[in-house]
Amino acid sequence: VAATIELEFPARTEYLSLVRAVVGTVAGHGPPLEPLRVNDLCLAVSEACANAIDAYNDEGRAGAPVRVRLAVDADRIQVEVSDLAGGFDPDAVPADPTAHVSRERGLGLPLMRILTDELQVVSTEDGTAVCMVMLGGRRR
C-alpha cells in the first residue's frame, strides 16, 4: 500500500535543509535504495525546491508556498515539487550539465535528470510541477 506524505514550506532557502532531512527519512521507509541513491534523491529534490524558490523570488514573492509530495511504496518513491510561480520552458534548458558549469547557474534541472530514474516537468504560466521517481533496487 502506498503512503503519501505532503509538506508545504515557505519559499526561503533556509528551509531546504529541513526538506532534505524529510526526504532522506521518508526514503528510508520506502523501497530499498542504496545510500548513494538516497543522497541522489535528496539532491534532486533540493535542486527542484531551490528552483521553485528562485522562481518566486524572480516575481518578488519570497515566502510563497512550495509543495513537496512524497509517495512511497514497495517498488518506488515518487516526489513531486510544485510551485505557483510563473513557470519556464524546460526544453530551453540544455540537458548536459557540463554546459552550465562555466555559467554557475542552471545546473539544477540537468542534475535532476541524471540523478533520478524518471523526471517529468510540467510548467505553465500558473506554476511548475517537477515529478521525480526513484526505482527500488536498481543499480546505477
Partner 1 sequence: MELGLELTERAGVAVIAVTGEVDVASAPRLREQIVSVVSDGAPRIVCDLDGVEFLDSTGLGVLVGALKRCRTHGSELVLVCNQSAILKVFEITGLLQVFEIHKTVEAAVAAG
Give the span between the Cα atoms of 16 and 25, in whole angstroms: 14
Report which of 76, 94, 93 is spatially closest to residue 131, judged by C-alpha positions: 76
Q: Give the residue carrying C-alpha cell 510548467.
A: 123
Measure the CA–CA gap between 61 and 56, rounded to whole angstroms: 5
Binding segment for partner 1 among 61-69, 71-79, 96-104, 117-125 (CB under 8 A)? 96-104
C-alpha cell at 119: 523526471
Q: Is 102 helix (H, G, I), strand (E, B) or coil?
A: helix
With contacts defined by CB under 8 A, name the span among 69-77, 99-107, 116-124, 126-134 that binds partner 1: 99-107
Q: Check binding of 18 to partner 1 (CB under 8 A).
A: no
**For partner 1, which is the closer residue by CB, 47 or 80?**
47
Q: How far apart are CA 89 and CA 111, in angstroms?
A: 16
Question: Is residue 42 a contact point for partner 1 (CB under 8 A)?
Answer: yes
Instruction: Name the grid cell of 21.
Output: 532531512
Question: From the list 89, 91, 104, 125, which residue makes contact with partner 1 (rule: CB under 8 A)?
Answer: 104
Under the binding rule (CB under 8 A), the answer on residue 95 touching partner 1 is no
Residue 98 CB, shortest distance to partner 1, in Å, is 4
Q: Which residues bind partner 1 (CB under 8 A)?
A: 13-14, 16-17, 20, 35-36, 39-40, 42-43, 46-47, 50, 53, 97-98, 100-102, 104-105, 107-108, 111, 114-115
